[in-house]
Amino acid sequence: MAQTDTVPVNVIKVTKADLPLSCPRKGTSASELHPRVFLPLKKTGEIASCPYCRTRYQLED
């Protein structure tokens, strides 16, 4: 039997005002910190995932 990943995937809706987008975001608790990465989002509906925490961000209007 194959092992599956049981960590829930978060999807955070962001707007163009949040760009350029980086993870972790301001206000993240100390226990959730990791090196900052910038995530490329340009088009409405586009989704980008953080390579560290796997949080997914989706760009809205």
pLDDT computed for residue 18 by the predictor: 94
pLDDT computed for residue 31 by the predictor = 86
Per-residue pLDDT reduced to its tens digit, 28-59? 888 889 999 999 999 999 999 999 999 999 99
Q: How many domains is the chain partitioned into structurally?
A: 1
44 half-sphere exposure, CB direction, 13 A CA radius: 2
Give the list of residues 6+ apart from residue 37 with CB closer than 8 angstroms, or none. 22, 23, 50, 51, 52
Q: Which residues contact 36 (CB under 8 A, 6 or more apart)?
A: 22, 23, 24
The tokens for 57 are 């961000």
Asked if residue 4 is part of any domain, the answer here is no
Task: State the Cα–Cα distance between residues 61 and 59, nearest whole angstrom.
Answer: 7
Residue 33 covered by a domain: yes
Q: Which domain holds residue 36?
A: 11-59
